[in-house]
Each structure stands twice: as C-alpha cells, then as structure tokens.
Amino acid sequence: MRALTAERQAENTPDLQARVRPILDRRLSRDIDAPLAVALSGGGDSLALLSLAVDWARTHGRRLLVLTVDHRVQADSARWTAFARDAATRFGADWRGLVWGDAKPSTGLQAAARDARHALIADAAREAGAGVVLFGHTRDDVREAELMRAEGSTLGRVREWSPSPAWPQGRGVFLLRPLLDVSRAELRDHLRARGLDWIEDPANADLRYARSRARTALRPGDDIDLPSDIDPAVTHAAQTATVDEAGVIGWPRTRDTPRAFLAAAVLCASGGTLPPRGDQLARIAARLEAGESFTATLRGARIEAAADQVRVLRDAGETARGGLAPLALASGSSSIWDGRFEVEHASGGEIRALKGLAAAIPRPQRQEIMRFSPHARPTLPVLIAAQGASPVLAAEAGRVRVLVGQRLRAACGLVAQEGEIANLPRGADPIASLC
C-alpha cells in the first residue's frame, strides 16, 4: 500500500473536505429522499470523489447510488467493475453495474465510449429518481480538455455544473463536478491518507488517444483558468425567450445575441445531440449582430431573423438527411420522438412528422394548426394508431410533452441547484392539446 508521512496525512484529508464541502452544499439539497448518484470507475479520481461524497451524504442524510460502466474494451474491465462494486459496498452505498454491450467502432473509440457512458449513467439515474450525478473530473482534466480544444477538438467545456450531455436519456439529469480545482496528485494523497487503493487504466498512457497525448504534452507549470458558470448574458437571453407548443423558440431581436445562447437554441429546437460550433455558427451570429434579416438552416434547425424577432425551429427539410424519422410507439409507454416531444398513447402505434400528411388529418385539426408557423407545422408529431388508420395529431390522440423549453432552460443556466430540478416537471413541459 502506498504510504504518506503522518504529518502529511493529517494535513491533507480535512483540507480537501473543506474545499469540496461548500460546492456540494451550494448545489445539492439536504435531507431529501432522492438518491445522489456518483459515477465510479474505480480510478483514483472517482474513488476519492466517492469517499468525499460519503462524508457529505452521511452528514445530510442522503442516500448514495454508485454507478459503474463496464465498457467491455479493456481485458480487465470485469475485474475493475468488481473492484468498484466492492468499494461502493465498503462505503455502504447502493451500487449498480452498467454495460456498454454495443459493437465497438474502429475509430473514435474514446468519444463513443464517453457518449455511451453518459447515456447509460443518465438512464440509470433517471430510473432511480436521481437528478444529480457526481463526476470526478479534476483540474488536470480541465487543462487537458482546454489543450485539446486549442488544437481543434470539438470537446465541450468541463464545467462544475451542467445538464447531462446525453439526449434524450439525460433529460432532467445534471452533472456536478466538485473537484475541478483539485489536482490528481491531491486526490491520490487523500486516498493514501485513508488507506485506499485504486485502479490505473493503461489507456491513460496510450498515445493513440488524444486525451493521453494532451496529458503527456502538459508541463507542471502549465495552468488555466477554470471555466466559469454560464455567462449572465446567456441566462438573460434565455429568460427573454418563449417556446410555443410546436417547439419554436423566439426572442426579441437585438444585435448582441450571445453566441452560446444561439448555439443552445439551435440544439434544443432541432432535438439534436451536438451543439453547433465553428465557422457556420460564427457566420450566423455575425449576420444577427449586423442587423440583417435572413433565413438560414444550421444543424437541423431553421433560423428566421426578422427586424423585431428571431425564431429558431425544427428544419422540416431535415427528413432528407434522416431526421424526423418515424418511431414505433409501444402501448401505454412514453417515447421520445425527434428529440423534441415525449409521446404516450394507450394503444401505441407509429409517430411520424406531419409533413406530407396534413391533408389526411381531421378537418378541425387542419384548421387549428394554422395558428403555427407554416414552417413549424410539418414538424409536428402525428399518430397512426394502426396499419391503414388515418393520421391524427399526436396531442389529440394521447399525451404529448414538449421538451424544448426545459432543455433550453437547463442549457442556459436557469437550473442551478438540485432543488430546482425537483420543482420542475421531469424532463418536459406538459401540454393537453395542440388544438
């Protein structure tokens, strides 16, 4: 077992607890029944996080749910999963193992594994009723991510508090990273002081991976500023925005629309999974700043900039690229269609886009949808209850919830604490009917 001097052991653990506890206190609720989830790989960062979370949870009467993903990539992954299970059990926490059983890609393995991990963890957290998942990212992770971004990576910023990047699995789930101002070395000192061992993943030193190359390239003296919380200008823009029952986002036209808010609006209105970045986003932002009136499409969304208002909605032409795809709906269960609507119907059926089917829906429904933008109407969900049945608006046949508004609020920082998650509908804004 690795050892510290008695003096250093005494100094390290209380100091680290004192640094992390205020973050947990600020973001988390106390004495509520919902479990607090912790992502545990068995590595030093996540194991140190678990030990700190256990201390906080015991003080505040919170249950912990530990989630471990077996990616089935490394030969020792089953042993690592068992190690994580045993560690969680020793800490007295509930534990659940998750498996990424899909075929592994020949390229982009780390990115695919990251996406799968977030999706599995988000699904498990939602199923257990947990609104927050703790992740053990450190200051070193931030430094590596920023170096990768500087070299052209589209990797997102590593922030203390953010909505789950998995969609739609992560609706209503937030990630809290309370160790962003702590180094890996400090965490390992903390583990040694407690007599705890951990796993070292050999992939961390494999230079085939961009993350490992960034880790090797950084020098001890290299440092960065931690990413701040959401820009107040982004939060203000989200507060001025409206979202209608067709999922159309609108806000008053100004020349200083924050680029991050524009990216969030495109992401949420399109129901997609990757926010737009780079030259295309920059060009549209520049046109808005110049006061130009125009229509453009970007990453599955249609942007309509008029003199007094900007509207962002689903691009009805996305069907040519595989968007707005039909969805089989099981009877009595809810499903997410096009990343924008949660739909439920007692008898099931198939959800499709209204595009090309408007003439077949009942006349009263055809009249009522006229109140929506002509470009938004084709992207509304309709239900075909059985083979050969006529389509009807899904909101008239069953229960439909619009996901766009809550997703936008989460992306723009309007949900900043666990208690605010509990006070919101679980992942959706309910509507009784479109008509």
- H or E element: which one contains 11? helix 6-27
CA 205 from centroid of its chain's CA atoms: 28
The pLDDT of residue 432 is 36
- H or E element: which one contains 337? strand 334-337
225-274 residue pLDDT tens:
666 677 899 999 999 999 999 999 999 999 899 999 999 999 999 999 98
Nearest to 369 by CA among 394, 398, 346: 394
DSSP assignment of 21-90, as one string?
Answer: HHHHHHHS-SS-SSPEEEE--SBHHHHHHHHHHHHHHHHHT--EEEEEEE-S-STTHHHHHHHHHHHHHH
Laid out side by side, the sheet with 429-431 consists of: 334-337, 341-344, 399-402, 429-431
Distance CA 312, CA 250 (A): 6
Q: How far is CA 189 from CA 20, 193, 223, 365, in A?
A: 15, 6, 20, 65
Cβ-Cβ contacts under 8 Å for 225 (sequence gap 6 or more):
none
Is the distance from CB of 98 to CB of 120 less than 8 angstroms? yes
328-387 residue pLDDT tens:
999 988 999 999 999 998 889 999 999 999 999 999 999 999 999 999 999 999 999 988
The pLDDT of residue 142 is 86
Distance CA 10, CA 94 (A): 29
Q: Is the dihedral of CA 111, 115, 120, 121 positive or negative?
A: positive
Of 32-36, 63-67, 94-98, the range with the lowest mean pLDDT is 32-36
